[in-house]
Amino acid sequence: AQKVTQAQTEISVVEKEDVTLDCVYETRDTTYYLFWYKQPPSGELVFLIRRNSFDEQNEISGRYSWNFQKSTSSFNFTITASQVVDSAVYFCALMAGNNRKLIWGLGTSLAVNP
Amino acid sequence: DTGVSQDPRHKITKRGQNVTFRCDPISEHNRLYWYRQTLGQGPEFLTYFQNEAQLEKSRLLSDRFSAERPKGSFSTLEIQRTEQGDSAMYLCASSLGGTFNTEAFFGQGTRLTVV
């Protein structure tokens, strides 16, 4: 079975705090891709990052960083020095094996307060 | 505009009516997906096309739903005899197919309200 779990339903932080969004995935396939998307109040899903199962290097993009740990089946997302514009729902998703569809977590709603 | 475009953005319809939504993918993308999202949930897969071929359809999709991509470019999603439970955001996404799966880019969605 393929599954994505985002245990944190809602997170509220004050601006400039660092925040980590957790994502745990399940799959028996050895080839898979993990994604993070941002959904601001406008509703459009914005692609943030893709990581394939053979590349465990962590990635940093500005204030965003991702920690991929195959040993714990986790792909966590950290926002450093959060800003109000980071307020959104963040989804982690999995595409595995021959599947062409994304399996989604339920999302984490992040509120960054001034 | 080089993104995925969906039309209309909002649709209010009476129960029992038919509705049709359109999606224009990014022009060079050969894969096109339809997802449905209800409040507080992640997107739920409906169907996907590679060029004009519909390769997978969710078992969650009843016979009232049909999707087409006649020339491998734009796609339409039709819901017949709408029910209140069909109220949701309908999302279209496109991606490049090939040896490696690539990220899907989403449109802004069509919000359907069935009254």
Say whether A109 sits in a helix, a strand or coil.
strand
Disruptive mutation site among B5, B26, B32, B103 for chain A (greatest number of A CBs within 10 Å): B103
Where does the pLDDT of residue B98 fall: very low under 50, low under 70, confident under 90, or very high at 90 and above? Answer: low
Where does the pLDDT of residue B1 fall: very low under 50, low under 70, confident under 90, or very high at 90 and above? Answer: low
Query: How many A×B Cβ pairs under 8 Å?
Result: 56
Where does the pLDDT of residue A111 fall: very low under 50, low under 70, confident under 90, or very high at 90 and above? Answer: very high
Q: How large a percentage of chain A has pLDDT more than 70? A: 100
Using an 8 Å CB-CB cutoff, list residues of chain B that contact chain A. Answer: 31, 33, 35, 40-45, 48, 50, 55-56, 89, 91, 93, 97, 100-109, 111
Pick the more confident residue, B39 or B110.
B110
| pLDDT over 70 (residue B100) | no
Integer Rg of chain B from CA: 13
Say whether B31 sits in a helix, a strand or coil.
strand
Disruptive mutation site among A102, A103, A104 for chain B (greatest number of B CBs within 10 Å): A102
- Taking CB atoms and an 8 Å limit, are B42 and A91 in contact across chains? yes
Task: Enter the tokens of residue B102.
Answer: 């690539």
Which residues in A13-46 are b (16+ Cβ under 10 Å) and which e?
Answer: beeeeebebbbbbebeeeebbbbbbbbeeebbbe
**Residue appearing with tokens 């595409």:** A95
- Taking CB atoms and an 8 Å limit, are B106 and A106 in contact across chains? no
How high is the pLDDT of residue B79? 97
Contact residues for B20 (Cβ-Cβ < 8 A; gap 6+): B76, B77, B78, B79
What is the helix, strand, coil percentage profile of chain A, to 5?
5, 55, 40
Where does the pLDDT of residue B101 fall: very low under 50, low under 70, confident under 90, or very high at 90 and above? Answer: low
| pLDDT over 90 (residue A1) | no
Q: How large a percentage of chain A has pLDDT more than 90? A: 82
Average predicted confidence (pLDDT) for chain A: 94
Mean pLDDT of B89-115: 88
Where does the pLDDT of residue B105 fall: very low under 50, low under 70, confident under 90, or very high at 90 and above? Answer: very high
CA–CA separation, A19 and B88 (whole Å): 30
Measure CB to CB from residue A101 to each of B33, B105, B108 and give the nearest one: B33
pLDDT in tens, B24-71: 999 989 999 999 999 889 999 999 999 999 998 998 788 999 999 998
pLDDT in tens, A20-70: 999 999 999 999 999 999 999 888 899 999 998 988 888 888 999 999 999
Where does the pLDDT of residue B89 fall: very low under 50, low under 70, confident under 90, or very high at 90 and above? Answer: very high
How high is the pLDDT of residue B88? 97
Task: Enter the tokens of residue A53.
Answer: 């199962």
| pLDDT over 80 (residue B99) | no
Q: B98 to chain A: nearest residue by CA? A: A100
Q: How large a percentage of chain B has pLDDT more than 70? A: 96
